[in-house]
Homo-oligomer: A and B are copies of this chain.
Amino acid sequence: MARLGVGLIGTGFMGKTHALAWRNVKAVMGDAGASVAVPHLALLCDTPDRAAGVAAQFGFDRATSDWKALCADPAVDVVSITTPNGLHHEMALEALRNGKHVWCEKPMALTLAQAEDMAAAAKVAGKVTMVGYNYLRNPAYTHARKLIHEGVIGRVVQFRGWVDEDYQADPDLEWSWRAKLADAGLGALGDIGSHLVSLARGLVGEVESLIAEMQTIHETRPLPGGAGRAAVENEDAASVILRFAGGVQGSMVISRSAWGRKSRLGFEVHGTKGMVIYDQERMNELQLYVNEGDKAVQGFKTILTGPAHPPYGAFCPAPGHQLGFNELKVIECAALMRAIAGETADMDFAEALKIERVIHAIAESARAGGARVSLQ
């Protein structure tokens, strides 16, 4: 069977997750895209001091510290881009130019213009692209979407979303590139707000217009080595009120400075017959309320995911045994494999660009003091 040569750029948090996904996708999912090809870990790119060691650990054939060489390498068919956000644009373009498929982490880029550029390049190249909105892959989320689309909670009337972490909550945390517009672009909106937008779109459709505020909670941070303090140039938090194209109203709250929250990404969807609630911090659970039957036994149901929620069963035949974060990436990888095998990519650059438009619209509204911004 044909091999699909994998090139991985970046070996941090997301790099390792990509590597594990490539290692496991066939073993877990069987023939997901595998009728065409079996992933083969061909080439890994990192800094010269790390590349060889990590390649050995992750099981790649070879290592390099030259990402352009990786993009051009004939053994590479698909490039995983897991570097800091500011590098995505350049690397994705290079990979596409070399005729490679691209699996790129989110957000796509620092600016909307870069993201548009990437989507255009993908179209020209005719290669498969995928952006890493991995929470879309959680069987609990997928099932929530299915229930909503099947009308189990009736007509959807309101969306409430939240995404909070505390990685920038500590006032004494040192200043880093994350605080700099030129290196990080947006702050919480890019890092985590984009995930929330990805979930919202899947449930209630496109955002039509919004009004928003942003907040930089910690305005300066100490520079490393006691060299004074530097400004935080992007937002720690944002609040948004949305109108979706279908008439649903909604709101979103976003913070990277919310003490105690580690991966709190979730939503409530209100319908005329019921409600669905999800939170990634309990990623194997879904809450469902339906107004039916005797009032005396109505209540929110806590549904534990299991084989009834595909593709959970590919990981474990026993319900309630719990999938983990890394396994979401395996499911995403399977979707990418299927796209390479000819199915439609469900979160390609064109699709992910729509998410970028929303987070940049939030920033635009906030900079204009909460003025309405339309997305068409």
Residues in chain A within 8 A of chain B (CB atoms): 12-13, 16-17, 19-20, 23-24, 26-28, 30, 57-59, 143, 147, 152-154, 157-158, 160, 162, 165-167, 169-171, 211-213, 215, 217-218, 237, 239-241, 243, 249-251, 253, 255, 257-264, 268, 270-275, 280-284, 286, 288-291, 294-304, 306, 308-309, 315-327, 369-370, 372
Q: 30 interchain pairs (CB within 8 A)?
A: A12-B317, A13-B316, A20-B24, A26-B59, A27-B59, A153-B259, A154-B171, A158-B215, A160-B253, A165-B318, A165-B320, A171-B272, A211-B213, A211-B241, A237-B249, A239-B249, A241-B241, A251-B251, A259-B270, A259-B290, A261-B320, A263-B318, A263-B322, A281-B322, A288-B297, A296-B303, A297-B301, A322-B322, A324-B327, A370-B372
When the two chains form the complex, which single residue of B282, B309, B323, B372 contacts A325, counting CB atoms closer than 8 Å? Answer: B323
Contacts of A253 in B (CB 8 A): 160, 251
Q: Which residues of B contact A274 (CB under 8 A)?
A: 259-260
Are A260 and B241 also in contact (CB < 8 A) when A213-B249, A326-B324 are? no
Inter-subunit contact B306/A295 (CB<8 Å): yes
User: How close is A171's CB to chain B, nearest CB, in angstroms?
Assistant: 5
In the complex, the chain B residue whose C-beta lies closest to that of A248 is B215
B319 touches A27 (CB 8 A): no
Interface of A: prevailing SS: mixed
- Does the CB pair A370–B211 fall under 8 Å? yes
Given known A262-B318, A327-B324, contact A255–B27 (CB-CB < 8 A): no
Interface contact B275-A260, CB-CB below 8 Å? yes
- A13: chain B residues within 8 A (beta carbon): 316-318
Q: A241 touching B213 by the CB < 8 A rule? A: yes
Q: Which of chain B's residues have a CB closer than 8 A to the CB of A17?
A: 316
| B304 A143 Cβ-Cβ under 8 A | no
* Closest chain B residue, CB of each to CB of A307: B295
On chain B, the residues within 8 Å of A322 by CB distance are 263, 280-281, 283-284, 322-325
Q: Which residue of B lies closest to A317 (CB)?
A: B13
Verify B304–A302 contact, CB threshold 8 A.
no
Task: Out of B300, B316, B326, name the residue touching A302 (CB < 8 Å).
Answer: B300
Residue on B nearest A366 in the bound complex, by CB: B241
Min Cβ gap A265→B in Å is 10
Partner pick for A297 among B147, B250, B264, B283, CB 8 A cutoff: B147
Q: How far is the CA of A212 from the CA of B243 in the complex (A)?
A: 12
Nearest residue (CB) in B for A158 is: B237
A295, B317: Cβ atoms closer than 8 Å: no
Q: Of all chain B residues, which has the CB nearest A280?
A: B322
Contact between chains at A262 and B320 (CB < 8 Å): yes
Given known A-B contacts A27-B59, A301-B299, A271 and B259 have beta carbons under 8 A apart: yes
Residue from B258, B275, B316, B324 within 8 A of A259 (CB atoms): B275
The reply to whether A326 and B318 form a contact with Cβ atoms under 8 Å apart is no
Q: For residue A372, give the distance in angstroms from its CB to the closest CB of chain B.
A: 6
Closest CB of chain B to A168's CB: distance in Å?
11
Bound Cα distance from A262 to B317, whole angstroms: 11
B-chain residues with CB within 8 Å of residue A323 when the two chains form the complex = 322, 324-325
Shortest CB distance A158–B (Å): 6
**Nearest 7 CB-CB pairs, A to B?**
A262-B320, A324-B324, A260-B289, A296-B308, A299-B303, A299-B301, A321-B325
Q: Which residues of B contact A24 (CB under 8 A)?
A: 20, 23-24
Interface residue from B272, B281, B370 paired with A169 (Cβ < 8 Å):
B272
CB distance from A6 to the nearest CB of B (A): 13
Bound-state Cα–Cα, A275 to B296, Å: 16
